[in-house]
Structure 1
Amino acid sequence: MKVEIWSDYVCPFCYIGKRRFEMALNKFEHKERIEVIYRSFELDPGADANSGISTLEMLSKKYGMSIQQAKANTENVAQQAAEVGLTFNFDGQVVTNTFDSHRLMHYAASQGKDTELSERLFKAHFTDNDNVGNRETLAQLAGEVGLDAAAAAQILASDDYADAVRGEEDEGSTLGIRGVPFYVFDRKYAVSGAQSPETFLSTLIKAWEEKHPTLVQVEGDDDVLCTDGVCAPDAKRS
């Protein structure tokens, strides 16, 4: 069964939601048979990759508040992150463009390293305060998760996977996705936002049971040609 996750690497609730979903998946009986696919979504496609603007400055300007007020407003989000074992450092975060991050994720997926890179990109932005829009930084992060850093740098310097990113963004728009995180379970059920692990788990169970219905045996009259109503191969047959 497939679970597709549309998210962006500068979205705090995408990281929190990722951890909550993983908590649910770890409790799911059939977790080894779940394919998780990370899809592309940009919260701010027009952002400058090297803006030099802090997240707190951006929030202050966007909502017409002081830096201190912006910082106070992020404390609740940081607390929610801490509750699932994550450390958010809003003070040092910078506004950036994530298009290249998503392109790099497609390369990682082709090498079987998408799970590792996704986690590393989130941690880089929210905990380490690295610029996940900077190509040199991205190549370094790729190397840290076992990818070829030189190959990653070459891909980032080209237009490779650009169409793939835009294609997923267009697909998300067609599905009605206007914000992230957004989880699609086998293209039948959807969960929007960083919901509780219980919500994710119940959706996993529901989608799984619909895809893999359990046969229910009902009682009936015994067949005179069989024993106890069950016909088995004849042991005497050669």
Structure 2
Amino acid sequence: MTIDIWSDVACPYCYIGKRHLEAALARFPNSETVTINWRSFELDPNAPVKSPGDLYDVLSHKYRMPRSQAQQMTQSVENMGRSVGIDFDFAKAVPVNTLAAHRLIHLAAKNGLQDRAKELLLKAYFTEGKDLSDLSTLVSLGEAIGLDAALVESTLQSDAFIEDVRNDEEQAYELGVQGVPFFVFDQKYALRGAQPVEAFVQTLEAVWEKTQAAVLENGEACDVDGCD
């Protein structure tokens, strides 16, 4: 089974959704057959490389609300995060354009390290307050997951993987994705948002049953009269 997940490293529900899916996979007896592909989705592709002010300033401006209201708005997300072991610290978060981070994830995928990169970048943004627009920071994060530092630096100083990010976003557009996280199972079945763990469990089981039924119905075989 393949799960394609469109998400952004600056999306708190993407982090929570990742945890919910992981919990569901821990309950799914056929989890070893599951392949996860992280797909790029920029919530604000036109954001400056680094926004002035902190995350509360960005939210206040975006939703036209007082800064105090923006702070209150994140409280429920912090509570939800704590319930799945995520220590959100929105006061430390550095709002940036996430294109470079997505390119790093694609580089990691090429080297079999995609999930580790996704996890580390989410943690760096939401709990450690690291600047994901800073080249040296991204090089250090890449090195921490096992990539060569020189390779990360040269990659991010070039145009490598920009087209890959854009291709992911074009696929999302064709699917009608308007918000993330967005999970597509075997290119047929979708879940939107940080669904409860039980919803993921039910979807995994249902998709698995349909896949096995399709194999039983469509597989070629031989009988006493010959082979199909």
TM-score by length of 1: 0.88
Give, as a single letter, the amino acid of the residue that structure 2 aligns with 1:139.
V
Q: Give the CA deviation at 1:62.
A: 2.0
One-letter amino acid of the structure 2 residue matched with residue 195 of structure 1: Q
- Paired with 1:96 and 1:66, the residues of 2 have a C-alpha distance of 21
Structure 1 CA distance for aligned equivalents of residues 63 and 115 of structure 2: 34
Q: What does residue 188 of structure 1 align with?
A: 188
Q: Number of paired residues? A: 216
The residue type paired with residue 40 of structure 1 is S
Q: Contact 2:17–2:181 (CA<8 Å) still a contact in 1?
A: yes
Alignment of 1:9-48 (within 5 A): 9-48=9-48
Listed as ranges, the matches of 1:84-233 within 5 Å are 84-213=84-213
Answer whether contact 1:50 1:134 (CA < 8 A) is retained: no
2:53 partner SS = coil
CA distance in structure 2 between the partners assigned to 1:126 and 1:120 by the alignment: 10
1:72 corresponds in structure 2 to 72
Code of the aligned partner of 2:88:
F
- Map Cα deviations across residues 129-174 of structure 1 (whole Å, 9 max, x no partner): 1112222211110011111111101100000111111011001110
Bigger shift: 199-208 or 50-59? 50-59
Identity %: 43
When Rg is computed on C-alpha atoms for both structures, the one with the higher figure is 1
Unaligned runs of 5+ in 2: 217-228
Question: Helix, strand or coil for the counterpart of 1:207?
Answer: helix
1:51-62 to structure 2, matched below 5 A, reads 51-62=51-62
**Is this contact kept in 2: 1:2–1:37, CA < 8 A?**
yes
Partners of 1:67 and 1:181 in 2: CA distance: 26
Task: For residue 60 of structure 1, report the CA deviation from its aligned partner.
Answer: 1.4
Contact (CA 8 Å) 2:92, 2:127: kept in 1 or not? no
Structure 1: runs of 5+ lacking an equivalent: 216-238
> Secondary structure, in 3 states, of the residue corresponding to 2:49?
coil
Deviation at 1:53, TM superposition (A): 2.5
Deviates more, 1:134-143 or 1:112-121: 134-143
Higher mean displacement: 72-81 or 133-142:
133-142
Q: CA deviation at 1:65?
A: 2.2
- Separation (CA, whole Å) in 2 of partners of 1:97 and 1:53: 14
Aligned equivalents of 1:200 and 1:133: distance in 2? Answer: 33
Structure 2 distance, partners of 1:156, 1:65, is 35
